[in-house]
A and B are shown apart, each in its own frame.
Chain A
Amino acid sequence: MAAKFELTVNHVSREVVADPEMPLLWVLRELLGLTGTKYSCGIAQCGACMVHVDGNAVPACITPIANVANKSVTTIEGLSVDKSHPLQRAWVDLQVPQCGFCQSGQLMAAAALLTRKPNPSDADIDEAMSPVLCRCGTYPRIRAAIHRAAALMGKTEVSNDSDHF
C-alpha cells in the first residue's frame, strides 16, 4: 500500500509516494531521478548502492523507504557541488576508476570513513571499503586515493604526479 514519505536528499526536501518496503535505492533511481547510485546485487553484498543516511554509510538496496522517512540522505550527486571534495580530487589525481560502475559506492563509503576517521590507517580502509566490490580491480588506487584525500584535507604535503599532463 503506497504511502507518502518526506525526506531530505542532498539538502533538498523531497516527498515521495511509495510502498513502504520499496528500497531507498529504487526510490532514488526511479522516483527521484538520481541514477548515480547503482544496482548491482540487491542484497548488500557489493556496496554499489552506498549512500549516507544521517551521515552513515548505508546500502540503499536493502533500506526500505519507510526507514529513512524524515532523515537526511546524501547520494553521490550530493558529495560536492563541483567535484571539489578531496576524494573526488584524489580520484582524479590518481586516476582511480576503470569502468566506473562501482565508484559511486566506493566514494560514498570512503567519504563516510573520512568523516569518522580523517586519518585512516590501512586497517581502517580495509574495514570501511571491503563491503564495496570492484571487478576491474581498482583497490590499490582507491587505497592510495583515500590516503591522498586525507592528506589534502589535513593540508599536509601532497606530491604531484608529473607523469600526467
Chain B
Amino acid sequence: MTATTFNRRTFLKIMGSTTATGFAIGVTSLSAGCDGELQTGTKAGNWRAWINIERDNSVTVYCPRMEMGQGVLTGLGMLVAEELDADWNSITVRHAPLDDEFGSQLTENSESVRVYWPIMRKLGAGARTQLIRAAAQAWKVEPSTCTASLGLVSHPASGRQASYGELADAAARLPLSAQIELKEAMNFRLLTRSAPRIDIPSMLDGSLKYTADLSFPGLLSATILHSPMLGGRVASIDNRAALAVPGVKTTVDLGFAVAVVAENFWSAEQGRRQLKVDWAKPVHAAMDEGAMRIMLKAACLQPAAAFINLGNSASLLSSAESLLTQEYSVRYEAHATMEPMTCIADVRANSCEVWAPTQSPWAAYGVARDHGLSPFFRFCERLSRKLTGKANGLVKVHAIPMGGGFGRRLNQDFVREAVLVSKAVQAPVKLLWTREQDMANDFYRPASQHRIQAALDSQGNIAAWRHRIAGSGILDHGVDFPYDCANVRVELSYHEIGVPTGSLRSTAHTPNAFARECFMDELAVRAGRDPVEYRLSQLSKNPRLKRVLEIAAEKAGWTTPLPAGRSKGVALHPSKDSFVAQIAEISRAAEGAIRVHRVICVADCGMVFNPDTVKAQMQGAIVFGLTSALKTAISVRNGGIEQSNFHDFSLLRMNEAPNIEIYLVESADAPGGVGESGVPPIAPAIGNAIFALTGNRPRELPMLSPALTT
C-alpha cells in the first residue's frame, strides 16, 4: 500500500461516480483554535466522494490534507477505518483530488486532525451505515439486526454475510443517511493504537517518488539563478558559455531570475555555473543584520499598538517598585527542507499541468492557472470552476508527497517559476533548485526583538506584564500570557526589513515562547524561587498546562541534584490546542559547546490517537527546535542572504541529538494540534539550563557559544 500520486483514471472515476444529489458543497466553520480560525472542512455529507470500495474489498480513502512526514495520510485514513470498521490492511490513502468537496486542502497550523477528527469519522460511519442498510435491504431484515466488522456485514441470526466490496454499489445507490452515530471512545478498536504508516515501506527502497524523481518522455530539466540581492532584477545576461555546455537547450529570463533548461539536471547546473548575469539592485535593499537589529531595538523602546491589553499594565509598570526589564533577540531561520524546491510543469496552448510538492494544492492550482493559461482559457477556467466547484481539465495539479514542508511549501513561488519556464520553452520542464538557491530564496521565520517588563508583588508573583515585539511578518502567535496576571499588555511593532518571511513550524510561537519563558526564569531567580515552583504557583487558570509541568518535573527528577557540570532548565508553552512542558538536561564542553543529554517532554494533546505518530512528531519537533536553539542563523549582508548551504547553515546532527522521553497525557478533550506544539519550549528550556549551569543568560536565539560568555 503506497501513497502515490493521484492518477488520471481514478480522478475520472471520482468525477463519474458523483450523483447530482450527493454532493454537499458547503463549508462549515469549526471551532477556532489558536492562531485564529481553523481552515474549514466540509459538511461531509457524501462519503462516496471520499471512500472508494472495490469489489475485492480494498478501500481507498481520499485524504484532504497533504503529506509532508507528519503522517496525515495514515492518520486521517485511520479515522475513516475506525468508524467504517474496515480491515486496516485493506486501506489505501491518497491525496484527494482538487474539488470543493474536500475543503481548502491547505495543510498548515497543525490542524488536519483538529479539523477532520469529526468529519473523517462521520464519513466512515456514514459509509458503514449505508453498507449495513444495503445488506439489510437485500436480506429483508432490520438494519439493527446486522453488524459490521473488518470489512464484512453479518446477520448473526441467519448466518448471512456479505463483504463491503459486494455491497458497495448497492450502498452507493441508497439515499444518504441523516442520522450518523459515531463510536464512543471506549469502543475504539484502531484509534487508541498506532497504525504503521502506510507510506513508510516505500521510503525504504527508493520506490517512493518525490517530484524530482518523476519523469516522462519529453520532460526537460531546469535549474535557476535568482538575484543575489533580495528583490533584484536581471539587467543583462550573457548566456553564450551556458549554451555551450553539452545538453543545455536554452536560458529563460524571468526578470527576477534566470533559468537554464537542459536535457538533465547536471547539464542545467553546469550551464547555470557558466551564466553571466548583471543584476539591477532593488529599489529598497533588505536591511543588513546589524542595521536591522539597531532599528528593532530602537523600536522596542517606543510604545507600540496594543495587541492585548488586559487590566492596567502600563500604569502598574510605571509605578512599580520591583520591576524587571529584559530584551531578547531572535534571528531569521531557514526552513532547509531536505527536498529543495522543485516542480514539474507542462504548459500547452490551452492547458497547464503541474506536479508539485505543495502544502496548498489549490494555491498551486491558482498559480498554474494565472501563469500558465492564456487570458481566454483563464476566463473559461474561472467560469467552469464557479459552476462546478471542481478543478477541470484546463488546469491539473498532482500533489506529490513532500520531502519536508514546515510551512515553506505554502508559498508557490517554485510552481510559478516552473510554469513560466515551461511556457517559455513550450515543453514540459522539471525545475529543481540547488541548495544554494533554496537557502537564499526562502520565506524565513521572521526575526524579532523583544522587550519584556514585569512588576512583581511582595510575594514575587507577577503583578503586571508588558511584552513588546518588533519585527516583520508573523509576530502575534503565542503571545497570550498563560500565567496568572490580570494586567497583561502585548504590543506589536511592524517594520519593513525587506526579507521575505513566512510560516516555519510554530512560526512566532518559538520566538515568543523563548522570550517569555527565559524571562519567567529571570523573574523566578529575582524572586528567589525555584523555576518550576514559580510557574506552578501562577498557573491556577491553566490546569492543563499546570499538569504537564507537574508531570515533567516528576519525570525529570527536577529536585534531584545532578552531578557537577550538568544542569536542567524548564519551559512550557500552549499552542494549537495542546499543552507542552519540557525539561532539558545539559552540560558544556570546555570550548563552550552545549551538549544536550536528555529532554523530557510532557504533552497534553487532548485525546491521543495513533500515539506513536504523536510521539514521533514530538521527538521531531524537539530535534527541529534544537537547530533553532543552538545552530547557525540566517543573516543578511549587502541585501542578500549570507548563508548558502549546510556548511554555514548547519542543522542538528545525530551526534548532537539528545535522548528524548515523550509522555502523552491521557485526556478526553478533543485532539489538539501535534505537528508544531513540541517546538516552542525547547529553546527556552535550554537557555534556562545554560543559566543554571553557567550563570550566564543567553538572550539571543540561536544561542551560539561565543554569546554565552558575555
Whether B193 contacts A165 by the Cβ 8 Å rule is: yes
Whether B338 contacts A135 by the Cβ 8 Å rule is: yes
Task: Tally A-B pairs: CB < 8 A.
Answer: 194
Residue A9 interfacial (CB < 8 Å): no
Residues of A with C-beta under 8 A to B403: 38, 99-102
The residue in A19, A34, A37 that gathers the most chain B C-beta atoms within 10 A of its C-beta is A19
Residue B195 interfacial (CB < 8 Å): yes
Residues of A with C-beta under 8 A to B338: 38, 40, 46, 48, 99, 101-102, 133-136
Residues of A with C-beta under 8 A to B623: 134, 136-140
Residue B203 interfacial (CB < 8 Å): yes
Residue A35 interfacial (CB < 8 Å): yes
Name the prevailing secondary structure of the B interface residues. loop
With A39-B340, A46-B338: A26-B265 Cβ-Cβ less than 8 Å:
yes
Whether B654 contacts A137 by the Cβ 8 Å rule is: no
Residue B88 interfacial (CB < 8 Å): yes
Residues of B with C-beta under 8 A to A96: 200
Residues of B with C-beta under 8 A to A132: 654
Residue A2 interfacial (CB < 8 Å): yes
Residue B429 interfacial (CB < 8 Å): no
Whether A43 contacts B647 by the Cβ 8 Å rule is: yes
Whether B655 contacts A130 by the Cβ 8 Å rule is: yes
Whether A141 contacts B616 by the Cβ 8 Å rule is: yes
Whether B336 contacts A135 by the Cβ 8 Å rule is: yes
Residue B9 interfacial (CB < 8 Å): no
With A41-B645, A42-B434, A139-B657: A165-B195 Cβ-Cβ less than 8 Å:
yes
Interface string of A63-84 (1 = CB under 8 A from B): 0000000000001110110010
Nearest CB in chain A: distance from B45 CB, A = 30
Interface string of A1-43 (1 = CB under 8 A from B): 0100000000000000001001100100111011111111111
Residue B624 interfacial (CB < 8 Å): yes
Whether A99 contacts B653 by the Cβ 8 Å rule is: no
Whether B265 contacts A30 by the Cβ 8 Å rule is: yes
The contact size tier of chain A is 35 or more
Residues of B with C-beta under 8 A to A23: 266
CB < 8 Å neighbour of A99 from B68, B340, B647: B68
Whether B206 contacts A34 by the Cβ 8 Å rule is: yes
Nearest CB in chain B: distance from A36 CB, A = 2
Nearest CB in chain A: distance from B128 CB, A = 19
Residue A97 interfacial (CB < 8 Å): yes
Residues of A with C-beta under 8 A to B58: none
Residue B190 interfacial (CB < 8 Å): yes
Nearest CB in chain A: distance from B75 CB, A = 13
Residues of A with C-beta under 8 A to B405: 99
Residue B448 interfacial (CB < 8 Å): no
CB < 8 Å neighbour of A163 from B71, B205, B246, B611: B611
Residue A45 interfacial (CB < 8 Å): yes
Residue A155 interfacial (CB < 8 Å): no
Task: Please tell me which stretch of B92-100, B208-216, B457-465, B545-553 contacts chain A, meaning at least 4 of its Cβ atoms lie within 8 angstroms of it.
Answer: B208-216
Residues of B with C-beta under 8 A to A129: 654-655
Whether A83 contacts B204 by the Cβ 8 Å rule is: yes
Whether A137 contacts B620 by the Cβ 8 Å rule is: yes
The distance in angstroms between the C-alpha atoms of A163 and B608, with both chains bound, is 13
Q: Give the residue name and chain of the B residue nearest to A165 (CB).
A: B193
Nearest CB in chain B: distance from A42 CB, A = 6
The distance in angstroms between the C-alpha atoms of A100 and B264, with both chains bound, is 24
The distance in angstroms between the C-alpha atoms of A91 and B368, with both chains bound, is 38
The distance in angstroms between the C-alpha atoms of A97 and B68, with both chains bound, is 11
11 A–B contacts, CB within 8 A, in A order: A35-B209, A98-B620, A99-B339, A99-B405, A100-B69, A136-B620, A137-B652, A139-B652, A140-B623, A163-B193, A164-B193
Interface residues of A (CB under 8 A from B): 2, 19, 22-23, 26, 29-31, 33-43, 45-46, 48, 75-77, 79-80, 83, 88, 91-92, 95-104, 107, 125-127, 129-143, 163-165
Known: A39-B340, A138-B616. 13 other contacts (CB 8 A): A38-B338, A39-B432, A43-B647, A79-B204, A83-B205, A99-B404, A100-B69, A100-B203, A100-B403, A103-B203, A107-B204, A126-B654, A137-B619
